[in-house]
Structure 1
Amino acid sequence: MSYVDGFVAAVPTANRQAFIEHARQAAMVFKEYGALKVVECWGDDVPEGEVTSFPMAVQRGPDETVVFSWLVWPSREVRNQAMPRLMEDARLSPEVHPMPFDGQRLIYGGFEMVVNE
């Protein structure tokens, strides 16, 4: 079954278009290395929580929007083979392709897909 990398970040709301352009460029590179699908979602209805929430998790500021993203890979093995090459690809380096958000507050993880209806 497929493997998914998931991400949550806080992006300055003023950087929406820069984020979209950044995501489109990065998606092309991820697909070259085997990703099947790249999905980037701009927060529209992301409530503050009292105990936990997306905004709390990424320490969202008042001028930021939460984004929720995921990459679908054919397998964990394909993803694991791609990651070292992706990290070395100059097209994704911060000097060439700066992230329009604070990467230190990016939350990410790999997930085994168990239901895909």
Structure 2
Amino acid sequence: MAYIDGFLLPLPTSNIDEYRRQAQAAGQIWIEHGALAFQECIADDMTPQGSLTFPELIKTQAGETVVFSYIVFESREHRDQVNAKVMADPRLKNLCDPDNMPFDCKRMAYGGFNSLVSL
């Protein structure tokens, strides 16, 4: 079954267009290096009843929304191989200036996941 890298981050709504531009370009790099899928999602319905919401979890502030994203790989080994190529790609380095990101990287949550159920 697939291996998934997942991300959750707060994004200032004023930076949505810049984030979309960077994510589109980064996604192309991941796909070119072998990722099976690259998905970026912006919050819409964040009002579930009886459970913790993503905005509560990551403590969004006024003027921020939530981005949920994931990258799909064949396996963890495949993920490690693809990510090594991506991180060495100069196009990614040009996209990701750590001093000029459209969101606060220190507030981003990340994890690698084995698929448990896939239909």
Q: Structure 2 length normalisation: TM-score? A: 0.85
C-alpha separation between the residues in 2 aligned to 1:76 and 1:19? 27
Deviation readout 1:46-85 (Å, 9 max, x if unpaired): 2399984311332211110001111111111110112233
- Larger displacement relative to structure 2 (82-91 or 28-37): 82-91
SS at match of 2:55: helix
- Unmatched runs of 5 consecutive residues or more in structure 2: none
Residue 101 (structure 1) aligned with residue 103 (structure 2):
yes
C-alpha separation between the residues in 1 aligned to 2:54 and 2:90? 31
> What is aligned with 1:12?
12
Choose from 101, 111, 117 the match for 1:115. Answer: 117
* Residue 31 to residue 64, structure 1, CA distance change in 2 (3 Å): same
Maintained 8 Å contact 1:48/1:54: no
% of aligned pairs identical?
40
SS at match of 2:8: strand
* Residue 92 to residue 57, structure 1, CA distance change in 2 (3 Å): farther
Q: Structure 1 length normalisation: TM-score? A: 0.87
Matches within 5 A, 1:49-68: 52-68=52-68
CA-based RMSD: 2.2
* Residue 88 to residue 59, structure 1, CA distance change in 2 (3 Å): farther
Maintained 8 Å contact 1:4/1:73: yes
Maintained 8 Å contact 1:47/1:55: no
Cα distance, 1:90 vs structure 2? 2.0
Cα distance, 1:92 vs structure 2? 1.7
Maintained 8 Å contact 1:9/1:68: yes
- Larger displacement relative to structure 2 (39-48 or 87-96): 87-96
C-alpha separation between the residues in 2 aligned to 1:40 and 1:107? 14
> What is aligned with 1:32?
32
C-alpha separation between the residues in 2 aligned to 1:38 and 1:91? 17
> What is aligned with 1:22?
22
